[in-house]
Every structure is written in C-alpha cells, then in structure tokens.
Amino acid sequence: MKKIISYLLIFTLVVSCKKEVTSNKEIQQNTDQSSITTLECLKAKVSETLRKGESADGLTVEIPYKGGNGKLYVLQEIQSTGVVGVTAKLNADSLAVGDGKLVFNLFGIPKESGMAKFPIKIGGQTCEFNIDILELGINDVSISYLDCNSINVNQGSAENITQGDIVDFRFSMVYQGGNGKTFIDKSFSSINVLGLTAYLEGSTIANGEGYLNFRVTGTPLNGGKAILPLRFGGRSCNFEVDVKPLEVRPGQPISDKEGNSYKTVYIGKQQWMAENLKTSKYNDGTTIPNITDKTQWASNTTGAWAYYNNDAANNAKYGKLYNWYAVSKTTNGYKNICPTGWHVPTDAEWMVLTDYLGGESIAGGKMKEVGTTNWDSPNTYATNMSLFTGLPGGLRLGSGYYYGIGSVGSWWSSMEYSTGDAWTRGLGSSLWLADRYNSNKTNGFSVRCLRD
C-alpha cells in the first residue's frame, strides 16, 4: 500500500512539473472549441500573385467556411509543402456564427516555381489550399537586385512617427538589372504595425539600374516596427519604420462634490478626465451661479455656468459651459472647480498633452470621439487614440448666445492671456488640429480637469 501511495505521489509531482513547463501554445490548443460544417479550400483567395524569389510577407489568403459555432480557434502556423519556404499563419480568434472566412497571413520566400500546398485542420474539418508560385514571364518586369539599404526619404519624414499620426512621405530606392518592361500600379500594406501603405505608380523601368519612387500614407494603429514588404520584379526586401506607441490606458473614475462620476484616462504621464465637467459647485460646496439671461451673462464678471441653449438635457453628454471667472482661482476666491486632487490645466499642461500626441497640428484627431453620432460630418481624422473622447459641446459667446454644438468643442486653461482673454483649446468637426487660441473670459466653454 505504501508503495502505491509513493508511486501516486511521484506521478502527481511529475504531472505537476510538466504542467508548469507547458507552453502557452499547448494551453491555447486545449481551449479550441471551434466547430464548422464545411471548409472550402477550393475557394481560397490569395491577395496577390506570388512569384519565385519574391517575399510573401504581407500577403493574405482567405478561406471561406460554413456552419461556424462562434467559438474560439487557436493559432496555427503551417509550413508549405511542394514548393517550400512559405508559412501560413492563422491568428487565434473566434468563428462567426454561420458563414465566415479564415484569414491566413503569409511569410517567407518561395525558392522555386510550382505549387505550394498548405494542409489545414480547424473546427473538425480538414482541407488543403494551394498557391501557384509563378516564374517570371517573358513580358513581366524583371530586375536582378532590389536595394532596401539605398532608401532615401525625399519628401516628408519617416522619423518621429507616433501611433495615430497622419503619415505621408515619399522615398526612392535603387534597383539593378532592369529589363525595360512596363508595370502597373502596386501597393504594399504594412505588417507588424498595421495602417500604412506604400504605393508605387505604374511606369516603365530602365534597362539596367534605376530608381523606384514610393509614397507611404496612412495612420499606424499601434506602436512598434512597421514593416513594408516591397516586392518587385522577382526580388523583395523590407522597409522598416519605427512607430512610437502611445501610452494610454483608462484610469479609475472620480467624483465631484455633487456626486457626478467621471471616467479618467492616463495619457503619457498625465491623468485627465475623459468627460466634461458637470458640477454646479466648487469642491468646498459653494454654489456656482447658473445664468440663463443673455444680457446678464454678457455683463457678468464673476463665476457662472450654463447648459447649452439653457437645456438641461445637454448636461449628461456635454457637461456645463463655464465662464473663465468660474475656472480661475484668481477670480473665484481661490476655489477649485475640479474634484479634490484635480485642477484646471494650465496652458503649459495642455501643451504637454498635445505635444505627446504629435503636436497641435495633428493632436486633435487623436482627441476627438470617433464617428458622427455626436460630431457633425466629416469629423476629420478622428481616431480617439488618446481616449480623451473630446465632444462637440459647443460654446456660449460673451454676448450670451450659443454656438456650435455638434461642430466645435472648446476647453479652458487656467492661464490668462491678457486682461480680457485666457488661453483655450478647441477641436472642430472639419479639423484635425488641437487649436490653441486666446478667447474672451466671458465666453462659456467646457472644462476638463487634470490630476495634481
């Protein structure tokens, strides 16, 4: 009996040790719950023709299926047979319920022409999709060498690009051994960091050495190394662009004196409210007057607030509009309109935010809520990558009239520009910049608070 117990103990310890060194991939495989009724490899769709000696990086293959159960399938990497050198990678994801498609990403370089074969198994079904690797035809463009080390950025810049930036630059690169043939327009999508595309306009190459001229546009969706896999004339190489990631994450919600709760977000080293201020009280409990009358608003030089159009229904989404006298401690009796531990940002603190987001000229798009549910069309370049979620709450003019809900959002800084004006920031539906300008202190703008 003791021997049996000892054996069981040893067996348990061995199993436990094995479990500790089990790879993540093996753990993933154990969670595969996918099921489909039909896998249609004969309908495989390759994104672009692949030739011998060209890199497959950036190409995709779509495989339709039917009868998906909506469950998780795991990562697969399949090495080609027949023509070797190419890998098809299927990232882990969930099936559609019903009909859908699997998207494989291709990598590697086929060393010969012929048929590259990829046997796949998913959801209880198996099939094999094939890719015909072509020889260069007599009328195809052909070169002997493509030199990514010769790349010269000659318009715009490929430096200091940050996630979410609007990218537009041009570069040239050297090729050798051209055969003087004509080619059509080509485009190459980035991998690793998605969102960039290199365009090559159709032309005729030289006999011998020449230059290819590319234009890169788009918006990088994440940080890291954006790889543009360039394929041309039977040769290939990669152009790499460094993209700085935005350090953005949600913070803990906070509440003001009245119990209004606000989402917050960390953007770089700052923590901002991700919603407009709604309070009608300073954080010491003192009430801030609500002025609805236009004439009274225009003549007032003490702290006050209003709902846009004097309509309380606008408060939940857009918050209140405050004159600068309510915002500045120099005019409100050294009171704080923000929750305890938070404050109205200075002009310099606004600059820290917009500089981190790539500068005033492009930061606005990263600060605006996406879409046209609240913003008027076209809501230019809105990505909200900063999670600031700027909304078009409009403003109240010093005359007491309201303007711009849906098309503009404006926020106070705590810093005075002159006796009558203070620094502000504005976003617009047709702009991608975060506009820094001075505005009259009697105007009513939104407020965002920044953590101390």
Residues 297 and 425 grouped into a single domain: yes
Residue 350 burial (CB count, 10 A)? 24
Residues 225 and 372 grouped into a single domain: no
Collapse the DSSP code of 14 into the 3-class scheme (helix H, G, I; strand E, B; otherwise coil) and give the result.
Answer: helix
Residues 173 and 87 grouped into a single domain: no
Check pLDDT > 70 for residue 385.
yes
Domain that holds residue 57: 29-133
In-domain check, residue 22: no
Residues 232 and 258 grouped into a single domain: no
Give residue 94's identity as a one-letter amino acid code.
S
In-domain check, residue 6: no
Residues 127 and 151 grouped into a single domain: no
State residue 59's pLDDT score. 87
Q: Give the separation between CA 191 and CA 179, rounded to whole angstroms.
A: 30
Residues 307 and 402 grouped into a single domain: yes
299-339 tens-digit pLDDT: 999 999 999 999 999 999 999 999 999 999 999 999 999 99
In-domain check, residue 13: no
Check pLDDT > 90 for residue 127.
yes
∠ CA 383-271-195, rounded to 5°: 25
CATH number for the domain including 118? 2.60.40.10
In-domain check, residue 39: yes
Residues 220 and 173 grouped into a single domain: yes
Check pLDDT > 70 for residue 15.
no
pLDDT (average), residues 292-299: 96
- How confident is residue 138, by pLDDT bands cut at 50, 70 and 90? low
Q: Measuring CA to CA, which residue among 375, 277, 378 is closest to residue 326?
A: 277
State residue 358's pLDDT score. 86
Q: Give me the chain's average pLDDT, please.
A: 89
Residues 414 and 312 grouped into a single domain: yes
Q: Report the predicted TM-score, pTM, of the whole model to 2 decimal places.
A: 0.66
Q: Which residue has the higher pLDDT, 213 or 166?
A: 213
Residues 88 and 114 grouped into a single domain: yes
pLDDT (average), residues 42-71: 89
Residues 262 and 356 grouped into a single domain: yes
Check pLDDT > 80 for residue 21.
no
**Number of domains comprising the chain:** 3
Query: What share of the chain in percent tops pLDDT 90?
Result: 73
Residues 105 and 170 grouped into a single domain: no
Contact 296, 289 (CB under 8 A): no
Burial of 150 (0-12, 13-18, 19+ CB in 10 A): middle
